[in-house]
Amino acid sequence: MAATVVPPSLPPSATPQDYFRIVSPTLIIPRDPKVSIPVGILACQRDPLLRSIETTIVSCTVYQPPPSTSKKTKNAVSAPTLPDDPILHVTLHDTVVFPEGGGQPTDTGVISTREGKNWRVLQVKRHGGHAVHYVHVEDGDLEGAMSAFVVGLQVIVHLADTDFDRRYDHMSMHTSQHLLSALLETRLNLPTLSWSLTSSPTPCYVEIPRILSGDEIQLIQNEANRLVFEGRRVHVEVEELNWADEKGVDILENGRAVGKTLPQDYTGGVKRVVVIDGVDRNPCCGTHLPSINNLQLFLLPQTETISRTNVTSSRLFFLCGPRLLTYLASSHSVITDTGFILSCGTRLVPARVAQIVEERKRAEKRINDLELELSMVISDSMVSEAINFFQGSEAGLFKKYMQRTDDAGSALSFLSSIAFSFSGSFSERSLAGRFLIVLSSSPSSQSATSTTLVMVFGSEDSLVKQVSDRLKTQLSVKGGGKGLRWSGKYTGVWKNSREGAGIVEMLTEV
């Protein structure tokens, strides 16, 4: 005796009876369980809040993956990635799992078969006029899977909590987009060029021909929310599709197409119009909420300009429903976390950040001033040493190596400042002696990837060249420079007793 499929315990649908309206006297929903109901009048499109349906398997084949032709933009919700495991293509008589279309991505779902097994539906796609479920064969047992999906058997297809949350977010954003586009059209005479249902919780956007002013954004938002508070109802009207009656889309002066047409590969034979009472009628195959009453719309108070070759348009970002709450919660936590770090209330965060930025600017200036002062002190001390040296040996060469420890982001500028200041005071005092100086600067904590900066300067090009050539060959210091100054970088741990001693030895040999 064949086992029966146990229905999951899910909340009943709250979609009103008059949501789905067949407006043609001759359009009939196929009842024959051997026939797949076409996309346009599927259970998910007749009753968007229905989470489970008992139905029949119409066909099942092993999936042959086609070559990848994905051209999704990086922001849009893409279908869940298919794993390497085998996949079945399953067509059912009817389904609550929405196949992608109308800018709305595919749902995910579950099919329960009579052995009591739950199979994940990773995607549903429209093939011609029919919805094909991509069923994951997790254990790789294709034979077992094929025996579970025998044509004519009963199954239950349903949306688990995560599947329904994803779908609810998608339909909230989709219905809001219809409302928003209708208001942009009727109040500001702006057509919607395209829209993108982005991954939650990123705001979605509509693309329109120009930037909106702050007042216009406010006007549209107020108007939308007035309609939301009125709780305008939404319903769907379907009739047979007559291709001869279908108009092409309008083309703007700049060449962009406006509005929607049915996909050319659609063979379902159903024309579907989504109606927001008194606001909008729009051909669309997506799933839409029966009412806009909980879709409070938030328009991000700025638009983003998009420039393509000789066409400019702009993006208006929006949020509503569960996505608005997620966005609000994350924005709130960003601002409270920042307030906590700054030890102030959230309202004071902008002023406190401005104050810190200002203080930082002042502190940077003070560091620069102090570095300059310190470089002069160091160079003066070296100049005094040189003067003493020349008193004993007028024709001699004053040689000096000095190592510094410095965690500055750009220690090279400090070394340059010492070199500049030394050469300056040398010529100021009209000193004529010969000199050759090497400076190095390492961070306080060193590792194999640390950088030590080395600078060589002297009174003659040939002296600088002699030392820099040896730094390159003997200590693998990589650097460049010509004339009286040369600088380079050493990677690794710099020890005074090793690299430092090497430089002292090089100097004695010059």
Contact residues for Zn ion, defined by CB under 5 A:
102, 284, 286
CB of 274 to Zn ion, least distance (A): 6
Distance CA 109, CA 230 (A): 33
Distance CA 103, CA 262 (A): 12
Instruction: Give the count of alpha carbons within 13 A of 394, CB side only.
Output: 0
Compare residues 47 and 280 and give the one whose CB is closer to Zn ion: 280
Compare residues 44 and 157 and give the one whose CB is closer to Zn ion: 44
Q: How far is CA 456 from the centre of its chain?
A: 47
Compare residues 280 and 499 and give the one whose CB is closer to Zn ion: 280
CB of 185 to Zn ion, least distance (A): 14
Compare residues 174 and 485 and give the one whose CB is closer to Zn ion: 174
Compare residues 177 and 459 and give the one whose CB is closer to Zn ion: 177
CB of 40 to Zn ion, least distance (A): 13
CB of 177 to Zn ion, least distance (A): 7
Q: Residue of minimal CB distance from Zn ion? A: 284
Tokens 């560091």 — which residue?
A: 367
Instruction: Please say whether the beta carbons of 482 and 490 come within 8 A.
Output: no
Compare residues 185 and 460 and give the one whose CB is closer to Zn ion: 185
Task: Calculate helix-pair angle for 501-508, 461-475, nearest 10 degrees.
Answer: 140
Compare residues 102 and 458 and give the one whose CB is closer to Zn ion: 102
Distance CA 483, CA 464 (A): 7
CB of 54 to Zn ion, least distance (A): 29
Task: At 281, list the tokens.
Answer: 């009628």
CB of 243 to Zn ion, least distance (A): 20
Closest C-alpha to 175, from 323, 320, 62: 320
CB of 140 to Zn ion, least distance (A): 38
Q: Could you tell me how many residues make up the chain? A: 510
Per-position DSSP letters for 154-214, written without gaps between them: EEEEE--HHHHHHHHHHHHHHHHHHHHHHHHHHHH-----EEE-BSTTSPEEEEESSPPPH
Taking the CA atoms of the chain, what radius of gyration do you get in angstroms?
37
